[in-house]
Structure 1
Amino acid sequence: MSPKGQKPPVRRSIPGLASLPRPVYGRTESLPNRALTYRHSHPWVQLSYAIAGVLEVHTEAGRFIAPPQRAIWVPAGVPHRVFSTPHTEMRSLYLDCTVTGWAADACRVLQVSPLLRELIRAFSALSVEYAEDDADGRLVQVLLDQLRGAPEVDLMLPLPHDQRLQQLCRSLQQHPERQATLAQWSARLGVSEKTLSRLFQRETGLTFRAWRQRLRLLGALQPLEQGQRVTDVALACGYDSTSAFIAAFRQQFGCTPGEFFRAG
């Protein structure tokens, strides 16, 4: 959902690290306002995680969304931007590639278990140059082991490379409530509906209808996490009724909005 009526996000600084002081480095931030980091990359892996608030990481592949108790894994060298909602409490990790050889070389969203959450909190309290050969070092090894086993969750919106689809997707992201059909878009873009449908499937792996529904539901996570009424969020997303929104939400996430955030 587009942030209508909100102030522009505050630019968030990027640590000027030439190298990591230890194989795992933690960064703690309290962000009272909407914030973003401009497009950048690191020579190490980044785990963007928030104990409160909703994060978005944008890459060329798509938008990755992490409400509380989910985290976004960004491989080394991948250009990305990070967005956060107001009152976000960040507990980011930077990991040297020497300790993440088991990880797939792709951006993804991970489920954060209660144990992993507490390990990240405990690690955030350690000295930057923690001792690697005592209890602190053992805690880091358990943390890495839990990261290795963290399941992936489907909280990603794929983005196309075709310029015509990019125009369409930009418009939908700015106005998710609009109900223009694929036929109307094909007329606007000067291509047949069949061609546009095939392009959408080939470039995103989703049908036009499924992509738009995922856009709306992922966009709903931020206002829901901030306590907005389900009815208001549903209407802003383009749903005619609260029941239709909840049914779509359950189909996408396997639970209702209330259950989703209580589980977090």
Structure 2
Amino acid sequence: MKTTGIIALSLLGLAAAAPHKHHQLHKAKRDLVWVTETAEVIETVVQTTTVWVDPEDYPEPTTTEEAPEHTPAPEPTTTEEAPATTEVPSSSSVYTPPPAPTTTETPSSTYTPPPAPTTTEAPTSTYVAPPAPETTSSSTTSAVVAAETAASSSGSSSSLGGDLGAEKSGCEATWYNTLGAYAACGTQHWDSESVVALKSTTFNQYKSEICGKTITLNYKGKSTTAKLVDSCPGCIGTWDIDLSPPVFEALTGDLGVGRIDGLTWTFD
């Protein structure tokens, strides 16, 4: 193709250089000559293929770049047309994927709560005191007889003298479950029994004189009796008392009240 183009250009040059006749007769006009030149364009298309291989069987990936072949087109005489050359880099890459990470699934822990502890409601009074020793002294017996005689002569309704023998008014009362526990007087009692507990400091002061004593209680026109057998750590007033369920219901008719004020009581 290149040789043909050169020959055509040579002939064209000879024709242009030939001497012309002096316009003999001007019989005919010169014909137009069309010269067709063909430019050959070579386009190289490179295809890339990616191959996945096992990293244990092959070395590190290598990259090879091949430069495309460029063939220049012949330079035309009258028309200059730059050859369209498309360069596509060749890249044959072999990609080696990293080994898949080892995933260790942590087992989900299931929390197993411990069994609920068995709840046993403790009674308000847990102190168990030994029973009061029996006194056989004739002098003590004589003193008790003398005190009882003095109380009878003064017209008091209680066998106890002083503050113990006086009427306790404006007292506050609550109720509690005995649950068969031993009381501070050393005796065991149940919720069905009519018993009461006196404020701890007052009880401890007169314990030997009041353990097992029967008292009479009055509240808003209602009256009942009970036995004093225990101490009450939660009572506030000097003569405040804690009542077993039967005693509290006899005075209020409802355990839901929980606490009453204005109670009056005396030792029998």
- TM interval, short-chain normalised: under 0.3
More contact order relative to length (CA 8 Å, sep ≥ 6): 1
TM-score between both structures, scaled by the size of structure 2:
0.18
Name the TM-score, length of structure 1 as normaliser.
0.18
Greater share of residues in strand: 1
Structure that is richer in helix per residue: 1
